[in-house]
Amino acid sequence: MNKEKIKQLIVEHKERFLNTTGLINCDNQKYIRHLLHQKEIIVISGVRRAGKSSLLKLIGDDIRISEQVQENNILYLNFDDERFIEFSHQDFEMLLETFIEMFQPQGRKYFFLDEIQNIQGWERWVNRIYEFEDVKIFVTGSNASLLSSEIASALTGRNWQISNFPFSFSEFLRFNQVEFQPADFYLREKKVQIKTCLKSMSIQADFRKY
């Protein structure tokens, strides 16, 4: 893959990543916040449309706001983009050099590599930069690919595995701007509101089956 195409993809993907708004905080986000200062790779697996990309963007917001990480230190790429069809594991080194050349990051870098399973052999490169670079790595992909024995063996002891699922009921309530406390279950109005949301969630889940 040529360097100019890599530059274009870095800029386009990063721009979208940093400017996505309107996302709902999710349950896994709070857990991952506690892992930000650890070196281990964060591996997020799940089915398609489970919100893995949205979770990465929420984490990106967290590190920029809470950790005051500069945008120049952030790399985001979604390997589902068909323009990566020519990209192979041999291009990762050029990708890293191009990113550093373009943004000249200072201090710890943060790499968000979405749907990484599309690049065969990615785990060897990730394993190497984990060893030799000051970088926090987040990767997402399908359950089957990220949990394979070969990849698990390559990253043994160097990663936290997190399974991401579609909206939980608490996330669905937040999406519908319904706030509640345990005691609210004893209030008629709140109980009706929560039941309505539960019924709506069940209908949507059934609809997605067809």
Domain layout of the chain by residue ranges: 3-166, 171-208
Residues in the chain with pLDDT < 70? 49-50, 143-152, 165-186, 193-194, 197-210
What pLDDT is recorded for position 178? Answer: 62
Task: Provide the residue type at 35 as one letter.
Answer: L
For the whole model, what pTM was predicted?
0.77
pLDDT at res. 210: 38
H or E stretch including 61?
helix 52-65
Specify the DSSP class assigned to residue 20.
Answer: -
CATH class of this structure's domain 3-166: alpha beta
DSSP H or E run through 128: helix 122-132
Are the beta carbons of 9 and 82 closer than 8 angstroms?
Answer: no
* C-alpha span between 9 and 49 (Å, rounded): 22
